[in-house]
Each structure stands twice: as C-alpha cells, then as structure tokens.
A = this chain, B = another copy of it.
C-alpha cells in the first residue's frame, strides 16, 4: 500500500477534476472544428487548454517536490540527489513542452 502514496495522492481529486475538465475542453475543440468555427477562435481555445495542462504540471511538480523529494532527502543524501535528478528531467521537459 505504502508504495502507492505519491506526491499527488493528497489531492488526487483535484487533479482528476482538472483532467476531466481538460478532456471536456478537447471535446469542445472537436465540436468547434466540426462546426467550422473561425481558426483564431479555435487557436484561442487551444491556448486555454495548453495553459490548463501547464497548471496540472506545476501542481504535480509541487506535490512531487514537497513530498517525494523532501522525504527522500531526509532519508539520505544520495536518495535526495536521485529524486532531484529525476525532477530536473521533468522540469526540462515541461519548459520545452
């Protein structure tokens, strides 16, 4: 059981709610395209969904650093460094995405 307690476990419901809203927004985007709505309006809505995804990323990263990274660092220097390296990979992907 213990293994499945991740950083975001404490606010799993909030993350799920955000992801469900994003799923609804991508369905709305399909409707806009099917109804031949104006390109610029579709683009504005795509930017809104991208922003919502970025907010999910930052939230997950916040939980990860607050829980997994700090816990690992408190357990041992090397464990902390390993978790930091992993987090840095995710941050680099986030900056480029």
Contact = CB atoms under 8 A, between A and B. Distances in A.
Given A26-B26, A47-B90, A70-B81, 14 more contacts: A6-B39, A15-B33, A16-B33, A23-B27, A40-B87, A42-B60, A44-B90, A47-B93, A47-B96, A48-B97, A58-B92, A65-B69, A73-B73, A74-B77
Interface of A: 4-9, 12, 15-16, 19-20, 22-23, 26-27, 29-30, 33-34, 36-40, 42-44, 46-51, 53-54, 56-58, 60-66, 68-70, 73-74, 77, 80-81, 84, 86-97
Contact of A64 (B33, B39, B81): B39
B60 A46 contact: yes
